Amino acid sequence: MSERRARITSAARAAGWIGVVVIALALPLYLESFWLQLGLFAMAAVIGAIGLTLLVGVAGQLSLGHAFFIAIGAYGYAYLAGESAHGASAGASGLGLPPLLALVVVVLVAGLAGALFSPIAGRLRGIYLGLASLGLVFVGQHILFNATGLTGGFNGREAVPFDLFGFSFSNSRPDDFVVLGVSYGGLERLWYLGLVLVAVAWWFARNLVNGRPGRALATVRDSEVAAAVMGVNVARYKAAAFTLSSMYAALCGVLMALAFGQIVPDTFGLIMSVDFLVMIVLGGIGSVGGAAAGAVFVTALPLVLNRYSGSLPLLAEPGSGGISAPELSRLLYGAAIIVVLIFAREGIGGLLRRLGAPLSVAVERASAPPPSGSSSPAVKESVS
């Protein structure tokens, strides 16, 4: 029975994933530009949140410097792929590398930056590590505002559209790209690029968490002494966790830069790092799926509230002095965190698993054959 139940659960899960993929592929055919832009921001946040949950939730290393590595990805891509003419200011320059090569290089550079910080991470734990990583954000802000030749300074710089084998994920090359009678502009093309990046990030993280490296990281999180006794190289695994998280953050930054088009230093401050911590706490510490759900919630809430601020009674118009959409969203974040910590410590991911368990049981019961020796009503009636 248990084997049969496992097959039914697996089939139901596969059917659910197929439905999710089909819906995700079809959404650009129906959504307007606002929702496509929101979806791209959410996809970038999902990648960054998965990277942070690998570091904080799986490896147990608190980090407040996630925004620093996201900035490396965003500005690094803009610099490596951009020419001086593409900069938002006259002083912004670039190397003119192919966008795909720029993406790969900046992810590797961010991983190297994370590896260079890992010796500090290896010596510190808890709040002390969080405060040390917070210093990266302040250093990054100083560089972004003052290295005008690379970042464009206060005004920021533009991100070069992604290009793959001559096909541009923008409104050009080809200028009029039509599939089955539907015109695909820059947002529609970026949507599918984002789906691919999210799928790769999700697949790698799930395999890592469920595999031997994930179990080793979880042991390091629970007890470094016990992990060392069991033969786990604690320093190497902690360094690997910081390196991998930094690479995820850089990939998040690249997609964020492509979605925004124009990146500015103010985006990559302490508030961003806190927002990503909120994502993984709401989603469930250590849960890849929960991190994704938390990222979507935290990213979408302020944008949706801002869009419908005129019709919501609690919100005031921007500049009127009342509660704005960002302020209300942070109040809701705080309330949600309190509720999660008190009533549902497993977060959104745990709640989804609880909701999915009764559904799998219902599917099993519906597909179960009648008990042996019993007959259906129709058979009984024909016999009588």
pLDDT digits (tens, 9 = 90+) for 59-96: 989 899 999 999 999 999 999 998 754 444 445 778 88
Mean pLDDT for 357-366 is 52
What's the rounded Cα separation, in Å, for the pair 230 and 268? 39
Residues 277-329: tens digit of each pLDDT: 989 988 888 889 889 999 998 898 888 887 876 666 666 665 566 677 777 77
Give every CB contact of residue 52 below 8 A, 6+ residues apart in sequence. Answer: 63, 66, 245, 248, 249, 276, 277, 279, 280, 291
Using pLDDT thresholds of 50, 70 and 90, give the confidence band for residue 366: low
Q: In this structure, what is the dihedral angle of CA atoms 86, 91, 92, 96, given to the nearest 10 degrees?
A: 70
Mean pLDDT for 180-205 is 88
Mean pLDDT for 146-172 is 86
Going along the chain from its start, the domains and CATH numbers come out as 2-369 (1.10.3470)
Using pLDDT thresholds of 50, 70 and 90, give the confidence band for residue 343: confident
Least confident of 90-99, 204-213, 253-262: 90-99
Mean pLDDT of the chain: 83
Per-residue pLDDT for 124 more than 90? no
Residues 209-231: tens digit of each pLDDT: 999 999 999 998 888 888 888 88
Per-residue pLDDT for 358 more than 60? no
Per-residue pLDDT for 200 more than 90? yes
What's the confidence (pLDDT) of residue 10?
A: 74
Report yes or no: 188 and 36 within 8 Å, Cβ to Cβ.
Answer: yes
What's the rounded Cα separation, in Å, for the pair 265 and 155? 8
What's the confidence (pLDDT) of residue 70?
A: 96
Report yes or no: 57 and 73 within 8 Å, Cβ to Cβ.
Answer: no
Q: Which of 73, 81, 69 is nearest to 106 (CA)?
A: 73
Per-residue pLDDT for 1 more than 60? no
Report yes or no: 250 and 110 within 8 Å, Cβ to Cβ.
Answer: yes
What's the confidence (pLDDT) of residue 103?
A: 95
What's the confidence (pLDDT) of residue 115?
A: 92
How much of the chain exceeds pLDDT 70, in percent?
Answer: 82
Per-residue pLDDT for 50 more than 80? yes
Sequence-ordered alpha helix ranges (H) in the chain: 2-26, 33-53, 66-81, 99-123, 126-146, 148-151, 186-210, 212-222, 224-229, 234-260, 270-283, 288-307, 325-343, 347-367, 377-383
Using pLDDT thresholds of 50, 70 and 90, give the confidence band for residue 353: low
Least confident of 35-39, 175-179, 273-277: 175-179
Q: Which of 51, 44, 104, 48 is nearest to 245 (CA)?
A: 51
Class of residue 30 by CB neighbours under 10 A (exposed 0-12, middle 13-18, buried 19+): exposed
Using pLDDT thresholds of 50, 70 and 90, give the confidence band for residue 381: very low
What's the confidence (pLDDT) of residue 378?
A: 44
333 token code pair: 């974040």
Using pLDDT thresholds of 50, 70 and 90, give the confidence band for residue 339: confident
168 token code pair: 């541009």
